[in-house]
Structure 1
Amino acid sequence: MLFTPLIAAAILASTSLAAPTMTYSKNATTATSTTSIAPPPATSTTSSSTLDITQQLFLADTAVDRFALLPQDSQFVFDFGNPALKGKGGKGGDLIAANRKTFPALVGTGSGMAVGFLGPCGFNTPHVHPRGTELQIVTSGRLVTEMLPENGVFTNNNAAEGRRVITNTVNTFQMTPFYQGSIHTQFNPDCTPVTFVAGFNHEDFGTGQAADELFAMSPDVVSAAFGQAIDGADVAKFKGAIPTSIALGVEQCLQQCGIAKR
């Protein structure tokens, strides 16, 4: 092949760009390459000491790094029976949640769980989970459950019959789903305690008590929502009477169990 002066110049130029720079030491017998390498991208200067463990787990590059942030085996156990967690839910029982804040080992799993302890006639007031579907299994006793799906779901598929309310008695070791965003409730109809376990497909499933949220709105909005059923001047009375979590209820059960009304 014949090299023209232009081709030869191009080959020499490309060779000089690709070749590493070589330096020599007087006492060295071999050449040392000093090919320059681009510096790594700048990293955040935020100190990990200013972040809680859940935040650090979120920022970890890999699952391996997350495990390094949880060096104790005990950090992978959550105790729903811990007495320190009880007595905070309401006068009818307790609902203890394991989410990514209360149990950081859940970060990255996309899962959460709660355990409910309902006393005699205990009533978990109507509520929603904005970010998760609940699969609830009764482990002792039984529950009467109700769930309202979204708009457009009617009894017998007939709008004239009104909204469909899915009602069941869930016995020990039976399960029922409560779909994400659906209003649902659980009631213990017996004089003995009930325990249930609820699994969620979200690390932060959240809970909103329907009545408490509704009456937290301004009196004008509440009055408009109920029409003439509630006078605006009486809204404050209702706000003070609405439990935000588990409460005692249902007349028949209270009488049967000899529990005085408050």
Structure 2
Amino acid sequence: MYICFHAVFVNGKVCKDPKLVTADDFFRSGLNKPGNTSNQLGSIVTAVNVNNLPGLNTLGISLARIDFARHGLNPPHTHPRGTEVLVVLKGRLYVGFVLSNPGPNMKNKLFTKILNPGDVFVFPEGLIHFQLNVGKTNAIAFAGLSSQNAGVITVANAVFGSDPPRGKD
């Protein structure tokens, strides 16, 4: 629980005085509402983690709702601090992850699957993965993560959005 002694930091978050804790510290509503997918990727992630649900502090879990428009993409990304388990509620998703920096005599192996409602797929911690809506309708998935704040690094943004130092001409 995140109810602990004053000023103790656990996983980067301050513990709350138990006398000040309310049921609202453990509650979040709204995941029944679709996110706005009218963006360049056609997808939106609604995260529920320690940053917006304080009761998750020290529990080692979080979750997210992912909404996809037709052909929507949750682009290649990684969670450096958590494994993700994804379950499809609606639609059809093409999902996968790639092993990176494998041992000698191994290639970067791609693991993919097409998921339908009720199907589950696991993305191991730190591996680059993606989801693409290949169905004819919008899609909805929920993800559980093995961290109160798994983090996210979108590969293209990290690589192509970097600002390297410029040399002198």
Say which one has the larger Rg. Answer: 1
Q: TM-score range by the shorter chain?
A: 0.7 to 0.9
The Cα of 1:74 is off from its aligned counterpart by 3.9
Q: How does 1:191-206 map to 2 (within 5 A)?
A: 191-206=136-151
In the superposition, the TM-score normalised over structure 2's length comes to 0.79
Partner of 1:55: 14
Matches of 1:153 and 1:187, distance apart in 2: 28
Matches of 2:157 and 2:30, distance apart in 1: 26
Equivalent residues of 2:37, 2:68 under 8 A apart: no
Question: Counterpart of 1:186 in 2: which secondary structure?
Answer: strand
Equivalent residues of 1:115, 1:198 under 8 A apart: yes
Partner of 1:70: 21
Matches of 2:87 and 2:32, distance apart in 1: 20
Equivalent residues of 2:35, 2:67 under 8 A apart: no
Which is strand-richer, 1 or 2?
A: 2
CA deviations on 1:12-44 (whole Å, 9 max, x unpaired) are xxxxxxxxxxxxxxxxxxxxxxxxxxxxxxxx9
Partner of 2:123: 178
Matches of 1:164 and 1:88, distance apart in 2: 30
| Count of matched residue pairs | 155
Which is helix-richer, 1 or 2?
A: 1
Match of 2:152 among 186, 191, 207: 207
What runs of 5+ residues in structure 1 fail to find an aligned partner? 1-43, 47-53, 222-262
Matches of 2:117 and 2:32, distance apart in 1: 23
> Which protein, 1 or 2, shows the higher relative CO under an 8 Å CA cutoff with sep ≥ 6?
2
Question: Counterpart of 1:146 in 2: which secondary structure?
Answer: strand
Partner of 2:83: 133
Match of 1:87 among 28, 32, 36: 36
2:115 is equivalent to residue 166 of structure 1:
no
Matches of 2:123 and 2:73, distance apart in 1: 16
Identity between Structure 1 and Structure 2 (%) = 26
